[in-house]
Structure 1
């Protein structure tokens, strides 16, 4: 693979530096406002990808430090206390969706079979018609 021309390398470097600066600003604003700091929150506010934040060792360390300092990492992973009805509702809706998908798959299979039969009958009728027209 050939190296990029100098002007493209400079543009790439400038774009990365701008993204890093926006991420640092977003991180500082979130921390100052007392909002939960997470990779997703910083990425959303800075307009960068979470992948960019994870790949930048310095930004990653800063975000992880703020997360552990604020204790927001465990809270983000678990359900809010007293909100078991939400997870039960999600499980119920998920089960319902699974059943609906199964019904739809069966219906599609039935319709495909019917279509195959109809196409076979159509082909048979066309062949018969071709024999009568040839006479």
Structure 2
């Protein structure tokens, strides 16, 4: 085979793969299937690398890969909303734990001061009230 025939065959395979990938994305979009690079590659029989290298396909898949609910399903909160709620909840939990730790440290510091005072009194009694 000549180089021209090989090049033409390669171009034909690329065009066919592009058409399969485009049809796969169209079909997945109509069915409200979850769209991502792996799912499209499997459905179209192409590699994910092929999809990433073809700018039009890559841009379209990136735009559509945001999870979409099926018809009749409630619309889920966005990931950012979930993260914000989780961050707020964790921040509140951390604030409560810090306050509890501060109270515990204060209690322990007072107990340590009392123990130092008692220790000092005991040493003074032992030494007959004579400071060292």
TM-score, normalized by length of structure 1? 0.48
Q: Which has the higher helix share?
A: 1
The structure with the largest alpha-carbon Rg is 2
